[in-house]
Amino acid sequence: MGLRRNRWILILLAAVALLLVVAVASVVAYFVFGRQAQIAERWQDPIAAVHAESVAADLALYPLAGALESETVDAALANQELETGYAVLVFGLDLSDAQRIGRLVHLGGEFAAVEAPDRAALCYQQIYDIAILSPSLTDPARADALLAVGRGWTLIGQEALALEAYDQLGLIAVESPYLQLANRRDLLVALEMAYRDLGDEERASATRTEIVALDQQGQSQSPAVPGEHPALPSLEDASLSSPEVGAAEEARRQAAYGLLQALSAGGSASPDLGSALDQALQAEDAAKLELYQATLEGTSQPGLRIDAHWQKIRWLMLKYQVASGGLGLSVVPGWETQLAQIRSDLSKAYEELYFDYEDLVTALPEARLIGPGSYQVRRQVILDGRLGRYVNYPAQQLADKLQDAVQALQASGAVDRLYVDVSTGDEGQLHFYLSSAEEYGSPVETP
């Protein structure tokens, strides 16, 4: 009897131990996979996610003093001021999409290295959106960005999102007619390795098959020439100024430089230096808004109106940064109380910009360029929304218009092989991705 009782006790102890293991595993799974789901589930506004309290003012003030945004981000990264680099990146409009991607890749890797996967995820979300939606990137640059973001997602344990990026890369590598043969092969080789690193042998084998087929072609094939599209005015082209605006900008640069020097020397922001920058920014605000409003009221030419809208948006983004504490210190207290109005002004400026772009495109003298122009504009406006610049942008409405533009292109006989498509996930979350012309509009599973 004693032996039998001891055996039952051992069995019960083993069962309890097993239950404890299961419980621990469940807790681990909750924190690991639950965290992954939390990161992957919802789009986050990149600008609303700025940690203003962690921004180093002595670096964030550089652009106000006349430095390039790219130089400021690089300096922040070199000094391991990651939150400062992030804030300058998301508020700044002066970097090209390619420049922004490169710095976001670097920043995401640095966040991952200091065990901040949620911050790294914000960087990778933006890289993916730019890679898919940017109308200015070439397909080789788009593919390189997707490879980098797939590696980034893998780095922070987001395998499902990494696979999504890699699948999009594979689509470009196989379908895009704008790649050199050697570039296409290099991308496929890197993709095969990436799939194997994730343990996805099925995808890796399919990619190897594509490589073999490519090698069997035995001859190089020149990339196709991209289809025609209109040269629409952009933020880079916008140049609208006046003597009053020029003088106000110089006064602001001098005031910002004085405050920056005091902070860089280890001092504090004296009331006089802070007040000088406050007054300079408010004077610049009055001069610029007056100029932009007068320009918009004085012309019906869409091109000139678009220039004015872009300049106004650039200025409002700076006000947004100042008002939300994105410089790392309080500079214009009056703007801080007007943050909601500044956000509303930004939203209205983008809405008016979009309407003027539509007017410009529909009035193009060459009818064959209207479709590509409309598609180009809708991609850019949605991208601005995804990057947090177009505040409260009408996501679903613009997504529908994007699909309408693609369908119109296809109906007109366009020969492009890849188009931006969109699907709706849980809670109405939109997911943008590239789709082949043959499968455009087909339902897909969101990651």
Rg (CA), the chain: 26
Do 35 and 127 sit in the same domain of this protein?
Answer: no
> Is 31 within a domain?
yes
Residues of the domain holding 37: 1-41
226 found inside a domain = no
DSSP H/E element including 98: helix 97-113
Q: What is the pLDDT of residue 270?
A: 83
Residue 268 lies in a domain: no
For residue 262, count other CB atoms closer than 10 A to its CB: 17
Residues 22 and 138 in one domain: no
Q: Report the pLDDT averaged over residues 328-346.
A: 97
In a domain, 311, yes or no: no
Is a pLDDT exceeding 80 seen at residue 186?
yes
In a domain, 94, yes or no: yes
CA–CA separation, 27 vs 291, rounded Å?
Answer: 59
Find the range with the poorest average confidence among 36-45, 186-195, 240-249: 36-45
67 and 194 within one domain: yes
Coil, helix or strand at residue 396: helix
Say whether both 145 and 176 belong to one domain.
Answer: yes
Contact partners, residue 204, CB within 8 Å, separation at least 6: 192, 195, 196
Q: Do residues 5 and 109 both lie within one domain?
A: no
DSSP state of 96: -
**Any residues with CB less than 8 A from the CB of 195 and at least 6 apart, and which?**
166, 201, 203, 204, 207
Q: How far is CA 287 from CA 225, 255, 319, 427, in A?
A: 45, 17, 14, 43
- pLDDT score at 195: 98
Could you give the CA distance from residue 242 to residue 245 in angstroms, rounded to a whole number?
5
Phi then psi dihedrals of residue 234, to 5 deg: -130, 175
The CATH number of whichever domain residue 59 belongs to comes to 1.25.40.10
Both 57 and 26 in one domain: the answer is: no
Instruction: Give the pLDDT mean for 75-91.
Output: 98
Going by the DSSP 8-state scheme, the letter that residue 84 receives in this structure is H
Q: What is the pLDDT of residue 268?
A: 75
- Based on the fold, state whether residues 105 and 1 are members of the same structural domain: no
What percent of the chain has pLDDT above 70? Answer: 88
Q: Are the beta carbons of 418 and 432 closer than 8 angstroms?
A: no
Domain boundary among 189, 216, 243: 216
Same domain, 152 and 192: yes
Does residue 242 lie within any of the structural domains? no
Number of domains making up the chain: 2
Contacts 24+ apart (CB under 8 A), 434-440: 434/132, 434/168, 434/171, 434/172, 436/171, 436/175, 437/410, 440/406, 440/407, 440/410
pTM: 0.89
Residue 249, pLDDT score? 98
Q: What is the pLDDT of residue 261?
A: 92
What are all long-range contacts of 31-38, with beta carbons under 8 Å and residues at least 24 apart? 32/157, 35/117, 36/157, 36/158, 36/160
| 119 and 156 inside one domain | yes
Mean pLDDT score across all residues of the chain = 88
Question: Are 60 and 23 part of one and the same domain?
Answer: no
Q: How do the residues of the chain divide into helix, strand and coil, expressed in percent and rounded to 5?
A: 70, 5, 25
**Mean pLDDT computed over 53-79:** 97
Q: Which of 118, 194, 195 is nearest to 156 (CA)?
A: 118
Q: How many CB atoms lie within 10 A of CB 196?
A: 15
pLDDT recorded at residue 109: 98
For 218, left (φ over 0), alpha (ψ -120 to 50), or beta?
A: left
Residues 333-349, mean pLDDT to the nearest whole number: 98
Pairing of strands 430-436, 418-424: antiparallel
Tell me, what's the pLDDT at 23? Answer: 33
Coil, strand or helix: which one is 423? strand
According to the model, what pLDDT value does residue 16 have? 32
Residue 262 in domain:
no
Say whether both 156 and 9 belong to one domain. Answer: no
Interval 102-133: pLDDT, tens: 999 999 999 999 999 999 999 999 999 999 99
pLDDT at position 444, please? 62
- pLDDT tens digits for 14-34? 333 333 333 333 322 332 333
Between 262-276, 361-375, 390-404, the lowest mean confidence (pLDDT) is in 262-276
Average pLDDT value for residue range 393-404: 96
Instruction: Check whether 223 has a pLDDT greater than 90.
Output: no
**Shared-domain flag, residues 64 and 182:** yes
Identify the CA nearest to 439 among candidates 425, 413, 421.
Answer: 421
Q: Which residue bears the tokens 């004077």?
A: 283
Q: Is the pLDDT of residue 62 over 70?
A: yes
Task: Please check whether residue 278 lies inside any domain of the structure.
Answer: no
What does residue 327 show for φ and ψ, rounded to 5 degrees? -95, -5
